[in-house]
Amino acid sequence: MKPHILLTNDDGYEARGLLALREALSAVADVMVVAPKNERSACGHGITISLPLRIEEIGQDYFRVDDGTPSDCVCLAISMSQRPFDLIISGINHGSNMGEDVLYSGTVAGAIEGTLHKIPSIALSQSIQDRSKFARHDFTHATQVALELVQRFLQKGFPFSLNARKFLNVNIPQGAHRGIKITQKGRRLYTNNVHLKTDPKGKQYCWLGLNPLKWEDREGDLSDFEAIAQGFVSITPITLNLTSYADLQTLQEWL
């Protein structure tokens, strides 16, 4: 029996990265797609608790969720599937998710939700600076990476215990990659990302999130930013335990 894989994303159910991933993985797995109707980029790990959610089947094992987040989609898929999922992949995201951006990312949140349900989960993102080019972007290299990871999963299982609450955050460079690097989460440099404008009627509006991608060089292990800049696929193991253990004693003394 083929493995059962759930796909979701935050770019919407018609996103080219999701469609390419579904087509590629269908050769080796039984694939179910549950994705938001609309783009939900940077929605974080939000779930919908104040409104009803409507789910519509638009094809064989292909569903869209009106007004849903990636986390909603994973919850719904787990609830309605007649067969347990062996693996959850969130992506292929239209843009990278590195450094502290993982805290904003709806794509990463899809993998987090799967991890909370003790299902092996991977967030998969395609790095590209000009998002307008995704209409013409070829996801062949990204889907090849996805297939390699799935094959490794089938051969060796997931690298972590399901009780460890850890998942893989994978970022893929543009074009052919130079190999795969295991990386630490980098540290992105943020500035004020509120851009105020005035419309023709004299009223103000603003855009958020238009900062260029810059990061801080750090000592130690290669960061996700550095790996992508050098043309490598970046795989970062991420844990859901956010406790700063090194500071427990310091905080105790502070009290």
Distance CA 122, CA 179 (A): 18
Strand partners, 5: 31, 87
Strands 233-239 and 166-172, bridge-based pairing: antiparallel
10 is in an annotated binding site: yes
Instruction: Count CB-CB contacts under 10 A for residue 158.
Output: 18
- How many Å apart are CA 36 and CA 17, to the nearest integer? 14
Residue 11 labeled ligand binder: yes
Contact between 122 and 21 under an 8 Å Cβ cutoff? The reply is no
If you compute the radius of gyration of the chain from its CA atoms, what whole number of angstroms results? 19
CB within 8 A of 79, min separation 6: which ones? none
The DSSP line for 119-164 is --EEEEEE--S-GGGGGT---HHHHHHHHHHHHHHHHH--SS-TTS
Annotated binding site for a divalent metal cation: which residue ranges?
10-11, 41, 93
Annotated binding site: which residue ranges?
10-11, 41, 93
